[in-house]
Structure 1
Amino acid sequence: MRSERRWGSVVFEDNEGRDVVNIPLSVWLPEADLAAPSALTPVEVLRRTGIADMVERLGVPLTVSKDPQAGDAGGKRRSVPGVASQREMPRWAGWVRGLGMLVWFVSVMFTTVVFGDRASWAAPLAAVALFLVPVTGLAVRVLSKGRASKALREGGLQSPELVVRPSPEPGSGATRRFCGTASVRILPGDIVLTDGLGNERWLARSGSHSVSRAVRVLHPKSGVPLGVEFQGSNGDARALLPWKWWFAGPHGPRNWESLVAELSCGVVERKMSNFPDRGPWFVGHLLAMDAHRMSSLPPGEARSEADWYSSVVGRGESIIVPVLSAPLLAGLFQGAGNTLTFVAGLVSALTIVAAAGPAVRYQIASRFFLDRPAAPETA
Structure 2
Amino acid sequence: MRRYAVGAGQNGVVQAVFVDTAVGVPSAWFGGLLEERPQPWAEVQLQDSSGGLVGRFDPAEWLPEAADLPHRGVHGEQLLARSGVSALLAAAGIPLYTARDAADPRIVRRPGRRTAMSPGPAFPHWYTGVRASAGCLWFAAFTLLLFSGATSAPLVVTAAAAALSGPSARLVLRGWTRRRRSVCPPVVLARISPRPAVAGEGAAQADGLPAASVRFCLHTELRVQKDDLVLKDLAGSEYWLPRRGPHAVVSLRQVSDHTGALVGIEFLGPDTQTRALLPWDQWFGGLGGHTNWAQLRQATALPVQERRLSRKASAFWPRHPVLGSRMVPVPAREARALSRFPSTAAGVSSTAIMAFGSLFSVMTGARIAEGHPWAGASAVLMGAAGALLQATPYLLHQLRSRRTLERPAPTRELPIT
- Partner residue, 1:58: 92
The answer to whether 1:239 aligns with 2:276 is yes
Mapped pair 1:327 → 2:365: no
Q: Is the 8 A contact 2:163 2:358 kept in 1?
A: yes
Report matched runs for 1:259-338 at 5 Å: 259-273=296-310, 274-275=312-313, 282=317, 284-287=319-322, 290-292=324-326, 294-310=327-343, 314-330=347-363, 331-332=365-366, 334=369, 338=373
Which residue identity lines up with residue 230 of structure 1 in the other structure?
F
More helix by share: 1
Letter in 2 for 1:238: R
- Answer yes or no: is the 8 Å Cα contact 1:184–1:193 preserved in 2: yes
Gapped runs of 5+ residues in structure 1?
none
Identity over aligned pairs, percent? 27
Equivalent residue for 1:184? Answer: 222
SS in 1 for 2:132: helix
What one-letter code is carried by the residue in structure 2 that aligns with 1:185?
A: R
Counterpart AA for 2:137: V
Tell me how far apart the structure 2 counterparts of residues 144 and 128 of structure 1 sit (CA, whole Å). 24
TM, length-normalised to structure 2: 0.79
Note closer, same or farther for the CA distance 1:170–1:336 as it changes in structure 2 (3 Å cut): farther
Work out which of the residue numbers 2, 10, 15 in structure 1 matches 2:49: 15
Task: Give the equivalent residue in structure 2 for 1:165.
Answer: 193
Q: CA RMSD in A?
A: 2.9
Ranges in structure 2 where 5+ consecutive residues have no aligned partner: 1-34, 200-204, 206-210
Q: Which residue matches 1:366?
A: 401
CA distance in structure 2 between the aligned counterparts of 1:78 and 1:377, rounded to whole angstroms:
57
SS in 2 for 1:93: helix
For residue 270 of structure 1, report the CA deviation from its aligned partner: 1.2
Which residue of 1 is the match for residue 390 of structure 2? Answer: 355
| Corresponding residue pairs, total | 366
1:197 and 1:166 map into 2 onto residues whose CA distance is 15
CA distance in 1, matches of 2:344, 2:328: 19
- In the alignment, what sits opposite 2:72? 38
Separation of aligned partners in 1, 2:304 and 2:359: 61
- TM superposition shift of 1:145: 0.9
TM-score, structure 1 as length reference: 0.86
Q: One-letter code of the match for 1:254?
A: T
Change beyond 3 A, Cα 1:74–1:87: closer
Q: Does the C-alpha gap of structure 1 residues 223 and 193 become closer, same or farther in structure 2, counting only changes over 3 Å?
A: same
